[in-house]
Amino acid sequence: MEVADRLMEAMARRGIANLWFTSGTELAFFQEAYQRARAEGRPTPHLRTCPHEHVALAAAGGETRVTGRPSATAAHVDVGLITAGGAIHNAFRGGYPVLMTSGYAPSAPPGSHRGARDSYIQWQQQLPDQGQIVRPYMKWDHRLNAWDDPDLVIGRAVQMMLSAPQGPAYLALPREVTMAPAAPEAPRVPLTPVALGAPDPAVLAEVADALAAAEMPVIATDRPPAAAAPHLLALAELLGAPVSCGGTLFAIPDDHPLARGPAREFPLPDATDLVLAVDVPVPWMPQPGGPRPRMAAIGSDPILAATPLYEFPCDWSILARTDLALQQLVEQVERRLTPAGRERCRVRRATLEQRRAPGATLRAVAQAALGRVLGPEGVIFHEMAEPALFGRSRPGTLFGHAASSIGWAAAAAVGAKVARPDLPVAAVCGDGSWLFANPPATLWTAAYHDAPAVIMVLNNAGYRTGTVMVAADYPDGYAARQKDFEGGWLGPSPDFAAMARTCGCFGTTVANPAEVEPALREAVAARVPALIDVRLPQIGR
């Protein structure tokens, strides 16, 4: 056995079911170890071929969302890490427990060791510190040494990835080390991830006092764990407090009268005197002259520790398991509410239960139709969409874009469908996001792995950043006056449906609200990966 065999076996034993693999000249050891393990009946992750590192990392992140287990990717030396690009940022900010591995160019002289230099390119591929490409985005990174115990290395990586707050890790793999004979297997070391516990009772009591006395409390959340959802809803209903829902993870049912949009679209009411921030990086968008409420933050990273400057005033920061903290908070607030306080909460809730129904635009019709076709158990990955329009009602069925690099949702849906073929899975993105997703690589990966996810492209032939944002920054500027947003428009749009068909997928284009639901049902019935190109009016026109 070689070191690579030990690495693959260690991944499988530590809960990694899939290795999303992009080929490179120095990565043959993974392919051989995979086939050897299958032939000999030893545990190994399933090697999932993927022709692009960005797609591979997004797919691995989607897998972790629906399984709760770690995943892994393999990239080609430094250039593979660079190709993964914005997906690395997404993995870090989204908290994906993905082990990113990459080959590391050999440095052993030709002929001196198995796996030593044997190609001219290997002199050019070597860097003094390859890990520096990804280190700011990793919870842990390491370059494998000849004396390392592979099981211990993988175990330590997984321990760090799964410890709160979760996130990615990186392992560089020199070719001559991975292809060397493996040492006798060492005793396995149990490495348990750090789990969050109950909140500090004294601090929680202070927060409960403040919530019970608040005139206008607001709950802000973006990525609460599924187990916290019922307690969050119970607290909101008890207080009659609006909930600003970011849309990254399910918070409360979309049609609940207390649900509001994400922080960037839901200004705090002027009378807001207390914000309860629950697993949310940006609890509200500060406005000049706007309210400056007190804040209590609860979750696995209440102070956003990886962000150098974080100016939200926080009176209480509670590092705790969110579901336990909210459950106890509901109980404590319940005990503190006087009859007058309960009446105040009832009146507040009655006032807030006035919601404006979304207009019947093609975008709204398309998103609502997708929610109906998938059913309540269907899982939706989305970016550049309005999450409230999907009609989700169950935790674990809505996963939004947790960071700022677009091109994530479609590949994440493919990864989720591979990991959970029993679930109906779909992705919704804009045409700009779809182009960033490397459409041929994403479609090929979905078809190759028989992952019949549905991809809905809300195609407005442009970027919001290059049209709406330009007009907002320069309302009297030349671009806005002339309605010429060159640099932000993407028309004429490619024939995305035809592109899907060339990759062996179902593809169709719709431009009429009446066409959307029949097209979706046809796409699901096709039982192959499917793309629906929803043609909207061009943005900025």
> What angle (nearest 5°) sits at the alpha carbon of residue 426, between those of residues 422 and 432?
155
Q: Which amino acid is residue 154, in one-letter code?
A: I
Beta bridge partners of 400: 382
Which amino acid is located at 416 in the chain?
A
Domains of the chain (ranges; CATH) run: 3-178 (3.40.50.970), 201-352 (3.40.50.1220), 362-535 (3.40.50.970)
Q: What is the rounded CA–CA span in Å between residue 529 and residue 503?
A: 9
Q: Is 37 left (phi over 0), alpha (psi -120 to 50) or beta?
A: alpha
Amino acid found at 267: P
Q: Are 11 and 99 in contact (CB under 8 A)?
A: yes
* 249: DSSP letter: B
Burial class (CB in 10 A: 0-12, 13-18, 19+), 68: middle
The residues, ordered by sequence, that sit 6+ positions from 529 with a Cβ below 8 Å of its Cβ are 414, 443, 446, 447, 451, 452, 453, 454, 455, 500, 503, 504, 505, 506
**Structure-block tokens of residue 419:** 């990991």
Per-residue pLDDT of the chain in tens (541 residues, 90 and over written 9): 999 999 999 999 999 999 999 999 899 999 999 999 999 999 999 999 999 999 999 999 999 999 999 999 999 999 999 999 999 999 999 999 999 999 999 889 999 989 888 888 888 988 999 999 999 999 999 999 999 999 999 999 999 999 999 999 999 999 999 999 999 988 888 999 999 999 999 999 999 999 999 999 999 999 999 999 999 999 999 999 999 998 899 899 888 889 988 877 778 888 999 999 999 999 998 888 878 899 999 999 999 999 999 988 899 999 999 999 999 999 999 999 999 999 999 999 998 876 555 556 899 999 999 999 999 999 999 998 888 889 888 999 999 988 889 999 999 999 999 999 999 999 999 999 999 999 999 999 999 999 999 999 999 999 988 998 899 999 999 999 998 999 999 989 999 999 999 999 999 999 999 999 999 999 999 999 999 999 999 988 7
131-175, pLDDT tens digit by residue?
999 999 999 999 999 999 999 999 999 999 999 999 999 999 999
Evaluate whether 100 touches 171 at the Cβ level (below 8 Å). Answer: yes
Whether 165 contacts 301, CB under 8 Å: yes
Nearest partner of 20 among 448, 536, 396, 539, judged by Cα: 448
CA angle 292, 294, 297 (to 5 degrees): 120
DSSP per residue, 199-246: PPHHHHHHHHHHHHH-SSEEEEES---GGGHHHHHHHHHHHT--EEE-
Give the whole-angstrom CA distance, residue 426 versus residue 420: 12
Asked if 224 contacts 283 with a C-beta cutoff of 8 angstroms, the reply is: no
The DSSP string of 447-490 is HHTT---EEEEEE-SB-STTTHHHHHH-TTSHHHHHT--TTTB-
Question: Which residues, other chains included, contact 264 with Cβ-Cβ below 8 Å and sequence gap of 6+?
Answer: 282, 285
- Burial zone of 492 (CB within 10 Å; 0-12 exposed, 13-18 middle, 19+ buried): exposed
User: Shortest CA distance to 416 belongs to which of 133, 38, 11, 18?
Assistant: 18
SS3 164: coil
Q: Residue 390, Cα to own-chain centre: how many angstroms?
A: 18
Long-range contacts of 502-505 (CB under 8 A, 24+ apart): 503/440, 503/443, 503/444, 503/446, 503/447, 503/529, 504/447, 504/528, 504/529, 505/443, 505/446, 505/447, 505/529, 505/530, 505/531
Cα 504–505–507 angle (5° rounding)? 130
Residue 297: strand pairing partners: 277, 317
* Distance separating alpha carbons of residues 211 and 330, to the nearest angstrom: 10
Q: Give me the pLDDT at residue 332, please.
A: 97
Cα R_g (the chain), whole angstroms: 25
How many whole angstroms from its chain centre is CA 381? 9
pLDDT value at residue 355 = 57
Q: Are 160 and 139 in contact (CB under 8 A)?
A: yes
Q: Diameter of the chain by CA atoms?
A: 84
The runs of H, that is alpha helices, within 253-406 are 322-336, 339-352, 362-374
Q: How far apart are the first and last CA of the chain?
A: 63
DSSP E strands: which ranges in 175-315? 217-221, 243-245, 259-260, 274-278, 294-299
Rounded distance between C-alpha atoms, residue 502 and residue 506, angstroms: 9
